[in-house]
Amino acid sequence: METQNTDKIQRDGGLPSPWQAELTGPALKTGFNNSQRFDVIVVGGGITGLTAALSLQQKGKQVLVLDAHRPGYGTTGGTSAHINTFADTTYQEAESGFGEEGAQLFADAVNEGHAVIKALIDQHNITCDYAEKNGYVYAEDEDQVKQLEDIYNSALKVGVDMAYETEVPTPVPFQQAVIIPGQAQFHPIKYLQGLLTAFEAAGGVVMENVLADDVSKEDETLTVKAGELTFTAGAVIYATHIPPKITSFSFRCAPYRSYVLGVKLKDANYPDALIYDMQEPYHYVRTHEIDGEQLLIIGGNDHKTGHDDPEKAFEDLEKYTRQYYNVSSVKYRWSAQYYIPADGFPYIGQMPEAPEGVYCATGYNGNGMMLGSIAGKILSDLIATGESKYKEIFSPARIKPITGFTEFIKENADVAYHFVADRFNIDETESLQGLAPGTGKVVEVDGEKIAAYRDEAGKIHALTPVCTHAACIVNFNDAERSWDCPCHGARYDIDGKVITGPATRGLAKIGN
C-alpha cells in the first residue's frame, strides 16, 4: 500500500483526508480587540459554524468564530462530502416518529440544506469542485429489496425524486435498485475556505486554537470562557458537532467512527455517480479528482467510537474494495466521527441546559453537509428574528420516545455498562514491558491504572485513563493513535490533549 502524505495537516487527530491538503499553511491570525462585545460568538468552524457565522455577519451582526484547532479540523475535514436528497433516517422512519408533517419538514430541511450550499457557492464564487450527479441505492437480498421498497414509497410521499432502475454503475451484483437524480458532491475544505473568505471580507473575526470550556450569562451578556481568555456576546452558538461537557446530548447522541479510502484504480472504472449499498455496516463509492488524478472514494464500516478495532475496519474496507475494483494503490485512508440522534432528527436551536441565547446544532448522523448547512441558516434566523419554520421540529428541548428508532437503542444501551465494567476489565497482568512501540493499552502499574502509549523511540506516554467528560475508561485506537472514550466519543491524543469533545479537559499526564 502506498503511504499517504504525512506532511499534510492532521485532522481530528487522526489520519488526514485528501481535503486536508487545502489546510496547509500558517495558522490564521485575525485582528481582535479582547474588550469588544460581539453580537454572536460561534464556537466551532466546521460547515455548521461557518454557514451560521457568514449568514449572521451578512445580516449586519458582528460575529466572532472560535475554534479549538482551526476551521476545517473537525468532521467537515474528514467527511466524504456527498450532498443528498435522502438521509440516514429514512422518510419512513421520520414519518413513524414525527408524523407526515414531520417527515415533510425533514425532507424540506435536507433539500434546503443543499440549496443553501448551492446559493453560497454562486453568491461567493466558491470554486470547490461542486458537481451534480445521479445517486443509486441497491439491494442485494430479499430483506434489502423490501427495505428499498419502503425507502422508495416514503421518498415519493415527501416529493423526493426517485425511480426504480435496472442499470447501476457498480460491479457489485444486486437484485433491485433506485436512481435518485439531483445529488451532488464537492470538496468540503475548498468550500469552507470560500465561506471563511466571505466571512472575513464581511468583517467577521476568527480565532484559532481557542477551546471554549464554559458559557455563563449576566444581565444580557453571555461570557464564553476559554481557559484564561473570556469573550462576550449577546448570543452564542455551539457549532462544535457535539456540545461540550456533560449535557443531555451526551445521552441523546451516540458517537460513531466511520472509515474512508481514497483509491487509485488500474483501469478507468471510476463511477460517475454516488452509489450506496444497504449492508450493515454499509458501503458507498464516488469519484473525486484530486491534484489532477481520479480517486475512488469508498467508505463505510462504521462502528461506535471506542468499540471494535479501527485497524480491522480499514482492513475490511480495503478487502471489500479489492474484491470489486482493480486497485492500483490506496492513496488515502482516514476516519472521522459522526453522531446518531436518539430519535432520528437533528437537534438545532436553543440549548435546553444553557442560558437563554445559547444555541447548538448536533445529531446529524451522516448527513451533516445538508443538515449542517440548514442548521447554519436556522440558527441565524432564530438569532436574527426568533423564528424558523423548523424551530419546533428540530428543537433540542423536544421530548420524543425513541422506541421506533432502533439504530440508536441497539448500540447505546452500553454506556452504563462501560462506566462500571471497564473499571474491572483492565488487564491486571499487562506490564509496560509488553507494550510494543506504536501501541497503547490501559495497564496497571504498581496498583495504579494508566493509559500507556509507547512511541517509536521507546518513550512511554502515561496518562490517567479516566475520560474527563463522564469518567468512563478510554480505549486505545491503534489506527489513529488516539485514546477514545467508548461512552460519549471524547478523544485524546497520546499526550492527553482533547481531539474531539464533548470533553473540554485533557487526560492528566502521569510521571512525565
Residues in contact with ligand FAD by CB under 6 A are 43-49, 66-69, 73-76, 78-82, 211-212, 239-241, 244, 258, 260, 299, 336-338, 364, 366-370, 372, 501, 504
As measured in angstroms, the least distance from the Cβ of 441 to ligand FAD is 25
* Nearest-angstrom CA–CA distance, 303 and 110: 24
Q: Return the C-alpha cell found at 348.
A: 438545532
Cell 414509497: give the residue: 153
Strand partners, 460: 454
Q: Which of 334, 460, 373 is nearest to 121 (CA)?
A: 373
Between 364 and 422, CB nearer to ligand FAD = 364
Q: Output 288 or 461, the one with its CB closest to ligand FAD.
A: 288
Return the SS3 of 143: helix
Give the span between the Cα atoms of 243 and 248, in whole angstroms. 10
Q: Which is nearer to ligand FAD, 113 or 443 (CB)?
A: 113
Closest CB to ligand FAD among 12 and 422?
12
Kindly state the smallest distance separating residue 375's Cβ from ligand FAD, in Å: 7
Give percent helix, percent strand, percent coil of the chain, each to the nearest 5: 30, 30, 45
Give the nearer residue to ligand FAD in terms of CB position, either 367 or 475.
Answer: 367
Nearer of residues 57 and 258 to ligand FAD, judged by Cβ:
258
Q: How far is the CB of 256 from ligand FAD (least distance, A)?
A: 7
Find the shortest distance in angstroms from Cβ 462 to ligand FAD. 25
Spatial contact of 476 and 442, defined as CB atoms under 8 Å apart: yes
Contacting residues for 410 by C-beta, under 8 A, at least 6 apart: none
Q: For residues 61 and 257, which CB has a smaller minimum distance to ligand FAD in the complex?
A: 257
Cα–Cα–Cα angle for 198, 204, 206, nearest 5°? 100
CB of 373 to ligand FAD, least distance (A): 9
- Minimum distance from CB of 334 to ligand FAD (Å)? 8
Residue from 314, 367, 310, 378 nearest 338 by CA: 367
324's grid cell: 470489486
Helices (H), 386-489: 406-412, 415-425
Q: Which is nearer to ligand FAD, 259 or 462 (CB)?
A: 259
Q: Which helix (H) or strand (E) holds 51?
A: helix 47-58
What's 206-269 look like in SS3? EECCCCCCEEEEECCEEEEEECCEEEEEEEEEECCCCCCCCCCHHHHEEEEEEEEEEEEECCCC
Return d(Cα 71, Cα 77) in angstroms, integer: 9
Q: Least distance to ligand FAD from the beta carbon of 48, Å?
A: 4
Query: Which residue shows C-alpha cell 458559557?
Result: 215
Taking the complex as a whole, how short is the minimal distance between the CB of residue 353 and ligand FAD, in angstroms? 16
**Residue with the shortest CB distance to ligand FAD:** 368
Establish whether the linkage from the previous residue to 502 is cis, with ω within 30° of 0: yes
Closer Cβ to ligand FAD, 45 or 440, answer by number: 45
Is 100 within 8 Å of 159 (Cβ atoms)?
no
- Lookup: cell for 236: 452564542
Residue 455 Cβ vs ligand FAD, minimum distance, rounded to whole Å: 24
